[in-house]
Chains A and B, each alone.
Chain A
Amino acid sequence: MQGQKNLQKIHQASKDGVGGSPLRPDGTLKVKGEFAYSSDLWHEDMLWGTALRSPHPRATILSVDVSEALAVPGVYAVLTHEDIPGEKYYGLEIADQPALAIDKVRYHGEAIALVAADHPETARRAVKKIRVEYEVLTPITTEEQCLDPETHGYVHEPHEYKSHAYGNVCHEQKLVSGLGVTDEVRALADVIVTGEYEVGMQDQAFLGPESGLAVPAEDGGVDLYVATQWLHVDRQQMAPVLDLPLEKVRLTLAGVGGAFGGREDLSMQIHACLLALRTGRPVKIVYARDESFFGHVHRHPARMRYEHGATRDGKLVFADCRIVLDGGAYASASPAVVGNAASLGHGPYVIPNVRMHAIALYSNNPSCGAMRGFGAVQAAFGYESQMDRLAEALGMDPVELRQLNAVTQGDRMPTGQEIDAPAPVAELLQRVKDMPLPPPLDPEHPDVRTLPGALSNTSHGEGIVRGVGYSVGIKNVGFSEGFDDYSTARVRLEVIGGEPVAMVHTAMAEVGQGGVTVHAQIARTELGVEQVTIHPANTEVGSAGSTSASRQTYMTGGAVKLAAEAVRHELLERGRHRYGWTRDDLSLAGGKVVSASAGVLIAIVDLLGDDAIEQTREHHHRPTVPFDKETGQGFGHVQYTFCANRAVVDVDVELGLVKVVELTAVQDVGKALNPLSVVGQIQGGCTQALGLAVMEEIVVKDGKVRNASFTDYLIPTILDTPPIPVQLLELPDPHAPYGLRGVGEAPTVSATPSIVAAIRQATGKALTRIPVRPEHLTDTL
């Protein structure tokens, strides 16, 4: 009996395996200040690089004179596009962006020339000595101007288009389902509500600035240590510009201080390598905060028009939607963002008849691309505002209206795609509604620090009204529309110091999301060992794809699982061969090979000996197809994920100040591989949504950025952020590893509309633009 007990103990899932919450392997280094972020790198003899950036959003470059800059003592190189050895253009989806401006600039802050010097201040001073003659042109900045190129001109001349662009339209996606939206369809609805909505330009505002160190190599290539979201796609874009074969451009991930989509495009990668290859010395580039605002793409600002019809009892009849996204000067990820907006832009609702038209424009505003939520965020503000409007028109409870129309497993999206995994939208809403409300404001003894305006002491409780709002959102996981999305992992099992140790090597960018923790958990679970080492991420192993689209645990986690399973298989085969085992009930647990019926067979270390086992596997998700251009039909998304929110706000209606009192989230995560991290992701996602709702916007006027600093671009502080109670649902997705669901983005999609709904409830204002500003609440625009 003792043996059986021991077996139970061996089989007990390790608390540090899948489903547990072991601590981050990099946590101790991070709290000691010893974790090397990309901006912390240092090399003997290194130079500092910086860029000259355009003060104009649109201009023709007549001449560039770098001679004075070159003459500054301590300057080692000054480069323009003429010094680029290879291709001059790059891009994530469309190679339409010059590595350094050629003949014209298309946005405020575009890089024109580069300087390498022995001190960052020397480099900055030299940049000021580069003489550029411009012919300044009127920027093309509004939807109306963009859509009338005959009058206002082209951001890219038509002969420069490198994709299916036309006019100043970078990309478009239409969708029609059911009967579409015709007069006959409209006549079927008892109530019709229309609304026009606007979303401002949000910034990822990751704290660690774009930075890295490029080191020229003896073979004529270059080694780059960099903070990025996808090492291999960086390399793929960089090598042609540097005129080097892929294998001579080697990238290693340096510590990443947040990303949120903003590191999906190149920033300083090519620039640092160009300078290093020219000077023959290591070159470090670290953006200052203003340069960071100029140097990465932002969330697309949007203008949207929605029309919804419903029967008197609340059943949706049709939705007619137009979403216009300002993509700025270069394409970046705009085509994929448009695809998401079009295919997810109706929300998680069953709507028999739909018409949708989503477009991204080229303009002389800052370039926009990937940011957490990726096209689904803007639309969610539109459709959820419409749900509240419809509920009001019907005299229904807004949560009940949503539940009445909520999709569930087996329903079809307007793209025709069947939802073939759990979709507990109505349940998420019910749970969020049932969670206890925070206590009411105590009008007698308020702590002014908890009131709107907080430390500014603007109120002692008078003029403050409380509101409650609800929302739910939908997001896809992974890359869509036929993209061959995959990840690679190498797992090695060997004996070190008498213990079996698993080593996991992937190219996954750890940007703070906790993938490194989860990979170790997966290896522990699959191999039954405690010790796991995570190899630094680099391009020596196959691509991991991007740390975006909520995909890394699904994709790279899936690859680690496959590789670990292959290692386990080989180990057990070795045992079968060596010892003639014929049982098929073998597994690895507690550092041993275990048979369910016969107990412990051998210790892993004894079976492994000096002969380590290593396996590499790719994990591809099931194939998707591109949406039909005209009808939007197609199995375009791998997985859907849902989150519901409730916001409670206090509004000072005299001053227009808002304090979010509580923001509750309930999300279906399929399987929480690491509950502590999952909850942290949801809370962080909700906070970025709060920022978009009430404070975050890059203010662009006539193409010029007015607030490129943390003084003027406001992100939520700990005083602005309320308690965020989170409840998890775990309904496994049969198609995903462990049944998991991507987590990171859904709360950022869903939480913004709940906050705006709560402010509407408190104030009675329509509020069709975010971020909501005090002037919207006090009619003092």
Chain B
Amino acid sequence: MSLLHWAILIPFLFAIIVPILYKYIRPIHTGWFVLLVPSVLFIYFLPYLTPISNGDTFMESVPWVPSLGIQFSAYVDGWSLLFALLITGIGALVVLYSIFYLDKKYEALNNFYVYLLLFMGAMLGVVLSDNLIVLYVFWELTSLSSTLLISYWYYRDASINGAVKSLNITVLGGFAMLAGFALLYVMTGTFSIQEMIGQAGTVIDHPLFLPTIILILLGAFTKSAQFPFHIWLPDAMEAPTPVSAYLHSATMVKAGIYLVARFTPLFGGAAEWFWIIAGAGLLTTLWGSFSALRQKDLKGLLAYSTISQLGMVMCLLGLGSAALYFDEANELYTVAILAAVFHLFNHASFKGSLFMTAGIVDHETGTRDIRSLGGLMLVMPATATISLIGAASMAGLPPLNGFLSKEHFFMGLTNAAEYGIFNMETVGLIFPIIGWLASVFTFVYCCIFFFKTFAGRFDASRFPKKVHEAPVGMLISPAILGFIVVTVGLFPNLLSQSIIEPSMASILNGLPMDNEAFSVDIEHWHGFSLELWMTIGVVAFGSLIFAGMGRWSKWSIYNKDVDPFTPVYDATMTGTIKGSQLITNVQMTGRLRDYFAFIAVFFLIITSWTMVRFDAFALDLEAMGNVTIYEMLLIGLLLVSVLSLPFIQKRIAAVVVLGFVGFFIALLFVNFRAPDLALTQLLIETVLVVLFMLAFYHLPELRKETSKLTFKWTNAMISFGIGLMMTVIAFSAFTFGQGNGFDPISDYFIENSADLAGGYNMVNVVLVDFRGLDTILEVLVLAIAALGVIALIRLRMKEGDDV
């Protein structure tokens, strides 16, 4: 375990302490303690900047499940460092903001900070893991923890709804991604991303290439809310604002972006990868920016704007991946990657500050509805200033950082038309056109965000609360972010060497790094280039649309603020629930014997089919040993008790005879010198008989069997079939074992249990040393069974309740 691993684990460990801190140190807001974690981690990650900008990378590995090739390996290069710094840096600001946002008297702070720390750790794990399986584990942890955060105010229906929606969509994508990872493993034989990149050529030519990228991209697109999976993001706005600022603008939704960029060296250069990502991204940009116009909720507007901006970054990553089609770096393509990385950073800064100011407006006025807001500029001057900076940056106005990345975005799009590969000569023209249109919409919704909230006449009666400026503490974080927006805007090359170039190098891994196309030099003024004219067009056109808002806001399309894809999702959900109820009603008859029959028949069919398919029948009595008189006696007694069971009319007698069966089997174990098994069997039997007796007390008298003859025959046939099957399996296994001369598996344990585990009881050594995971998971199963019993008995459902 290196420091890097601990950096990932610290948020998880701290999450354990948070409830204790909350319980025992009430006078101090728990957030102050939590603030330590991201701040310390941020300071820990900062010194990595120097070696990373020199082109070094770091890899620390700890074996986790070595037999399956699963290492907990932490990998730091430019791209993961950028994310690690964003996660911890913005994380610290968000925690600081939340201290003032969440009242320590009324809010369940322990829950909030536990979830937030879980999320932070999971996110760090995603961006720093090199092993796909470990990455997947952290990936799903981000889904889970973000669901908990979204449903933080769990007594509101909308919160629960939004949380469930995000969970359904992102976990569905996560499963697809896991399948994609499995296919990647099939192709390359390793789970390490860096090792896979070494085999990039074989992957692209592999017949499974297309299904693999589709599955992996499903994961990335659902997480990053790409069209048409974007519908969960606006609903996730039910979370407290610090959460929205963190999850949905700075980190979580960028996990998909992270993944796509991470896999670009592996898949980049393939036409499918290029088209799917660039296409989906472009569509998302347009749809997100258009839908943002129709929002009446401040945070809803920001949510759609996030969708749109993420689509933009995604599209740029797709365009830039074409660089890997050629073996040399070419500025035509790398500029798209530069724009993606730069915009990712800028978006985190301005969107974070915008979310926080939206939260302040909500917190201090009691409403987020754009229709009732207005005139806050004079009441909340500081908030208004920060919002103005953020909104102007988002709209792409000079001299802020959003302007610079937007120019690069246009440059990437217009370059696309010159690509000369993948039919871009002809279709390439749609990229700048759609991108430009989306930017016009972006400009308009930025205007809506700022002017509808802060401009106009102030009317105190419209607000449910007495409106005043936010406390200073709440303003610190958005102000810092606003400061970053301006600074990066004025000195754009502040980050070029240290973070943007290394990030580009890791995305375009494999291209020669010392190429000129990699040197980043961002300038404000390129002369009257096409991009500048496009920006001027955006401002002119956008202002026209905003000025004419009174006219077009009467159109019905403006007033339908529910996304057309939401009903599709709702219909799928209700359909799924109805369908599963239907199936459940058919198979859940409420009669135990039916369930047994289902299980037995299924088992019978599957096993016989397998045995027939692999021609696994064998019977060889020659090799069998002699049966001693004791064994005959025991088996005879066993047979008598089993066969007498169906004819016993009294229940208590049946229980006792069933107990006999168990004890005879225990005796058999003794006879074969297996004391551990015998002991276990005896104890289980004893406890079971007690259980039976307890249940017996509640059961009605046994009645004369009145079922039909056919029913009895079916039962008899099923039980006979199962018995026959077990016998055949046992004989066949034995015969095969004799035939092929395999060493029995027990030899290994006999030889090694004393040396490797220091124990002479082989059974126990297998249980605790060699197969410890099996054992502990079996106890987990037992625990779940106990929970089931508690749930069934103590929380009994009322008459007529359905599941």
| Interaction A to B | no
